Amino acid sequence: MSTNAALKKIVVIGPESTGKSTLCGYLADYYNTLWCPEFAREYLLENGTTYTVDDLMIIAKGQLEAEQKYTEALQLQTGQNGIIKPLIIDTDMYVMKVWSEYVFGNCPTFILDQINKRHYDLYLLCKPDIPWVKDELREYPDEKPRQELFQIYKDILINQQTPWIEISGDFEARNQKAVAAIDEVLAR
């Protein structure tokens, strides 16, 4: 899947409660652009927090559909005027892969195939160095799984081709690191 020249796709990933959605909202405001929220949150709020591999497939497909919808909407906004805008994406198929493997011990082929078909311009990996915040959807409040999941994401990003940066520190530091990395991508 190729990216429109006037559009750069920035994906924010990491363990739960690492400020991903907060960062996405900040970046969308900062760049006056759109951000694609995490479909899993909406799905689990509607269908309950007990889920199966089949639910993860529905969530994966819903995430892909949402990403496509936001991509098309941003392309319409930017039109042919040559403005390059980032689309901020809260979660991608790497998150679905990690979630599937961590919870169920395997990953559906569909998700792996989608990883190979997708193109992104930058990953922002949020480190679990901010306090965990309880909400009805979060599963892993303990430090050990948060660190394990972070390392899994980091290993994935190290072993793929898309540029990435670790986002850490307080919210201001996170915002500054993300903006600097995105500015670099937009300047290419």
Mean pLDDT of the chain: 90
Other CB atoms closer than 10 Å to residue 156's CB: what's the count? Answer: 18
Residue 129 within any structural domain of the chain: yes
Q: What is the pLDDT of residue 138?
A: 54
Calculate mean pLDDT across residues 61-67. 97
Residue 2 within any structural domain of the chain: no
CATH number at residue 83: 3.40.50.300
pLDDT class of 171 with cuts at 50, 70, 90: very high
pTM of the predicted model as reported, rounded to 2 decimal places: 0.91
Residue 27 within any structural domain of the chain: yes
pLDDT class of 1 with cuts at 50, 70, 90: very low
pLDDT digits (tens, 9 = 90+) for 17-63: 899 999 999 999 999 999 999 999 899 889 988 889 999 999 999 99
Q: How many domains does the chain have?
A: 1
Residue 51 within any structural domain of the chain: yes
Residue 106 within any structural domain of the chain: yes
Residue 1 within any structural domain of the chain: no
Asked whether the beta carbons of 91 and 20 are under 8 A apart, the reply is yes
The boundaries of the domain holding residue 31 are: 7-187
Residue 97 within any structural domain of the chain: yes
Element (H, E) at 87: strand 85-90
Checking if the pLDDT of 122 tops 60, the result is yes
Residue 77 within any structural domain of the chain: yes
